[in-house]
Amino acid sequence: MGKTRFRLGLIGDNIRASRAPALHRLAGRMAGLEVSYELFIPPALGMSFGEVFEHVEEIGLDGVNVTLPYKERVVSRLRIDDPDIARIGACNTVRFDADGPRGFNTDFSAFVTAYGAAFPDLPPGRVVMFGAGGVGKAVAFALKRLKAERIIFIDPDRAKAEALADVLNADGTALARVGDLSDLPGADGVINCTPLGMVGYGGSPVAQGGFPGCRWAFDAVYTPVDTPFRAQAEAAGARFISGYELYYYQGVDAFEIFTGRRVTDHARLRAALAAEPAPLSA
């Protein structure tokens, strides 16, 4: 008989409102597994990220998810077998194997799935993306997989945005470049991969009244689901993918990596999640 108990966790700074614990516990229950899922907040623990990472491995966790602002920082500690994920340079899922921690990026796989489910007949086209950090990298590579026409990054850290564009263009294409707000009017899709709109952060990367008449939009933020960015996008007539979809699909992909069990009854799991009380954010 295979392993039936799994101890999992999430490392991040602003995660008290995360729905990840509910997803993994419920998916475990559906699979006949006993799954625990703990939150580890380095500043609240008075520890560095490195200290927390070593701690969760030492106390015997089977795996952890990693979120803002540690997705890139964790990479140097991992064995990464997938060359695409190595190029992304960010991991959100870590499994502690007998030979050491292995890194995965289910944000990447989840965006491909979520986009295809929402817009099966809509090519991404010309995309403006706010944010070139960990989740931005994963989504950018997913857009490349989805055959986007152009990806334009807007980030306060221009060097970070230029580095991501260079990695995407390393195969000789001219897919990506760094831009600014003047690129918004020509966008087919607009993406928020910044923390703006998340619980504990405010606002939107797009100024009020500045959202273009694009075809689609995506907000990586899902706590809360109804963000200012979403309101702007829908008011502008864009078809919208919620960050909840990324959360959901990256979660079930991570669950399979951690446990070896695939979620097959998505309707049942989504219904169970909807019925689960939301965690307090403080």
**Which uninterrupted H or E stretch holds 95?**
strand 93-97
Is residue 69 exposed (0-12), middle (13-18) or buried (19+ Cβ within 10 Å)? middle
Q: Give the residue numbers marked as catalytic.
A: 71
Contact 155, 131 (CB under 8 A): yes
Beta strand pairing call for 239-241 and 176-178: unpaired
Contact 113, 80 (CB under 8 A): no
From the CB of residue 76, how many other CB atoms can be counted at a distance below 10 Å? 9
- Rounded to 5 degrees, φ, ψ at 50 are -60, -40
* CB neighbour list of residue 240: distance below 8 Å, 6 or more residues apart: 216, 217, 218, 219, 230, 233, 234
